[in-house]
Amino acid sequence: MSRKHPIIAITGSSGAGTSTVTETFQQIFTRESITAAIVHGDSFHRYDRAEMRTIHNTAIEQGKNPPSHFGPEANDFAALEALFADYGANASGKVRSYVHDAEEERQFGCPPGTFTPWEDIEAGTDLLYYEGLHGAVRTEEVDVARHVDLCIGVVPIINLEWIQKIHRDRSARGYSTEAVTDMILRRMPDYVNYICPQFNNTDINFQRVPMVDTSNPFIARWIPTPDESMTVIRFANPRGIDFPYLSAMIPGSFMSRANSIVVPGGKTELAMQLIFTPMIWRLIDNSRKARGLPGLDRRDHS
Ligand SMILES: Nc1ncnc2c1ncn2[C@@H]1O[C@H](COP(=O)(O)OP(=O)(O)OP(=O)(O)O)[C@@H](O)[C@H]1O
Ligand SMILES: O=C(CO)[C@H](O)[C@H](O)COP(=O)(O)O
């Protein structure tokens, strides 16, 4: 945790919707004139696609379980923790991107399945924003979660998560349904051991629950729409959360537990805006004051 240089982490499995949630954060950052250093979790994969394939094939030949992108063998958790520690200490660190597909190739200028070179985080950012698989990971060796000031879990129920993954990997990344199904199966031990436990370490979890039948996610022809779903929002520490205000502002919402509010899927983005904006505002205001700068209210009117 760093009062001076705060870190926000959005953590979720592959296809959970962390990139989609990032669009909401970017709107808030633009509206509030906040500059964020963006970090994609995939940039902490240990291997590029060709290396990963070789490691996979060698493990299979040797009768071993191949490492998966959900676990520590294929990701450098220590380097991720070091980045968070560096950023928290002095707003610095190195970042890169993993290029998945042709669209990202056009954006980054490197071929799919490779990394862009490491680059220094530009000077003068207000916060670090992480989006990916391991923003709240804790193992015996590393504790990424302890560096994060606001940690959000994005966790559709698992059938929906798989539908989203299958559709995205087929349409944007060129994989077949069979290839994605195989990937889901291979990653399952790491999913249970490294992805799920993170949602105990988050401040708020968003769980999208479809209101349509998703019993067999492997044959679903489309992703249930926001209007066909509800989102459960669970706060680890509900103290200070203005539930009556949220309920009044979000039509169709209700509280399902003392720390959980349920909103219609189509209102999830509104809920995120209402919940995150004051939290981000407070992080930035505290950070500015800790660095000897005027608070946000003073900055806005100067
Ligand atoms: N709330 C939502 N309603 C409808 N579709 C959604 C929603 N959230 C995500 N999706 C869809 O699910 C797919 C995966 O979403 P997204 O790319 O945001 O996942 P991700 O967590 O960033 O995945 P990865 O980490 O593997 O890149 C996309 O096709 C996206 O449009
Ligand atoms: O989404 C993922 C993890 O979040 C991908 O599976 C991972 O980044 C590997 O990508 P690719 O299969 O395109 O090489």
For the Cβ of 168 lying below 6 angstroms from any atom of ligand 1, the answer is: yes
From ligand 2's centre to the CA of 11, what distance in Å?
Answer: 15
- What predicted TM-score, i.e. pTM, was given to this entire model? 0.95
pLDDT tens, residue by residue, 4-25: 999 999 999 999 999 989 999 9
Q: What is the ipTM of this complex?
A: 0.94
The average pLDDT across 94-110 equals 95
From ligand 2's centre to the CA of 145, what distance in Å?
Answer: 22
Per-residue pLDDT band for 298 (boundaries 50, 70, 90) equals: low
CB-based contacts of 12, cutoff 8 Å, min separation 6: 18, 21, 133, 153, 154, 155
Is pLDDT at 42 greater than 70 in this prediction? yes
For the Cβ of 19 lying below 6 angstroms from any atom of ligand 1, the answer is: yes
Q: State which of 39, 42, 110 you would mutate to test the pocket of ligand 2, scoring each by most atoms of that ligand within 8 A of its C-beta.
A: 42
Tokens at 158, concatenated? 């698992």
From ligand 1's centre to the CA of 140, what distance in Å?
Answer: 30
Domains of the chain: 7-290 (3.40.50.300)
